[in-house]
Amino acid sequence: MPLIESLLRIVIGVLIAIPLLLYPLLYFAQEKLLFIQQKRNYERFDWVRQEYPLAEEVQIKTPDDVTLHGWFVKNTPEKQSPLLIYFGGNAEEVSGHVRDIDFLTGWSLLLVNYRGYGLSEGSPSEQNFFNDAVLLYDVFSNRADIDPNKVVAFGRSLGTGVAVYLASQRPLKGLILVSPYDSIRSVAQRIYFYVLMSLLLKHPFDSLALAPLIKTPMLALIAEQDRLIPPPHSVALIEAWGGVTQQQMIPDTKHNNIQIGRGYWESITAFLDSMLED
């Protein structure tokens, strides 16, 4: 019995010690885990200039004096163009998405790196991403060459939370969400099931809380074999959405290769075409 009691005390001590050690580590390291900043890549930037000379390099100054950097690609001869605003994943520098313009007929494209990514200044955070998304919408929807009634947000992975927030704040024409989630808190809780994420996480990106109030038409694309954001997280958001939704499961794809899957671009272009019909 003394041996069993000693072992029991050790087990209990370990169970107490692990959270005490793990909580501070996760709390203070969560920005590095969530925001995997991709810094400037001058070779990539030179490629953009060479291959897409019509891509306009843009710099946007925020109210707190931070400069955001990206590209605007005009893609229609119309006086006022429909606009697609892209919000990338947590480890994504967006310059490579300039090539997406090849799939977009009649839509101009705005790509701006998050704070701390690429040539954008500042530090990443949920609130900074949200504020900057609204700023980008306000700046570009007021340009003379943009149709303010035909602005669509396109979010991927972490960026779906940014796009959802923008839809809750501004009258978007539509929303495209690739690998969306109900909340980062929920996704992280699945991974760190032994940690109370509700107490720990500083950047919850709670799209589920906003979803019922948003009436914007939404297309969701889900990778069939996604292990990072499993499909149930996407389905939870779709089922809570307050407007019309379309969803497409992209077969035989994972989180990081969904864009090459069968039906990916076909679904996006069909959705965007429907936005032009009204």
* Angle (deg, nearest 10), helices 126-141 and 158-169: 50
pLDDT in tens, 75-116: 988 899 999 999 999 999 999 999 999 999 999 999 999 999
pLDDT at 33 over 90: no
Q: How far apart are CA 207 and CA 196, in angstroms?
A: 19
The per-residue pLDDT for 21 is 58
Q: How far apart are CA 90 and CA 34, in angstroms?
A: 7
Domain coordinates of the chain in residue numbers?
A: 40-277
Q: What is the percent of the chain with per-residue pLDDT over 70, rounded to a whole number? A: 91
pLDDT at 11 over 50: no
Lowest mean pLDDT among 1-10, 85-94, 126-135: 1-10
Residues in CB range of 177: below 8 A, 6 or more apart: 155, 160, 163, 164, 218, 219, 220, 221, 234, 237
The answer to whether the beta carbons of residues 69 and 58 sit under 8 Å apart is yes
pLDDT band at 39 (very low <50, low <70, confident <90, very high): confident
Range 47-58 average pLDDT: 93
Amino acid at 73: V
271: alpha, beta or left? (left if phi > 0; alpha if psi -120 to 50): alpha
pLDDT at 213 over 70: yes
Q: How far apart are CA 257 and CA 122, in angstroms?
A: 29
Q: How far apart are CA 131 and CA 138, in angstroms?
A: 11
pLDDT at 8 over 70: no
The per-residue pLDDT for 236 is 98
pTM of this prediction? Answer: 0.91
Q: How far apart are CA 174 and CA 214, in angstroms?
A: 11
pLDDT band at 226 (very low <50, low <70, confident <90, very high): very high
Taking the CA of residue 250 as centre, how many other CA atoms within 13 Å lie in the half-sphere pointing to its CB? 27
pLDDT at 19 over 80: no
The per-residue pLDDT for 24 is 72
Range 200-211 average pLDDT: 94
Nearest to 134 by CA among 165, 113, 160: 165
Residues in CB range of 16: below 8 A, 6 or more apart: none
147: alpha, beta or left? (left if phi > 0; alpha if psi -120 to 50): beta
pLDDT band at 172 (very low <50, low <70, confident <90, very high): very high
Superfamily of domain 40-277: Alpha/Beta hydrolase fold, catalytic domain (3.40.50.1820)
The answer to whether the beta carbons of residues 141 and 166 sit under 8 Å apart is no
Nearest to 217 by CA among 268, 176, 257, 262: 176
How many angstroms separate the first and last alpha carbons of the chain?
78
Range 146-162 average pLDDT: 98
Range 62-76 average pLDDT: 96
Q: What is the mean pLDDT of the chain?
A: 91
pLDDT at 13 over 80: no
The per-residue pLDDT for 170 is 98
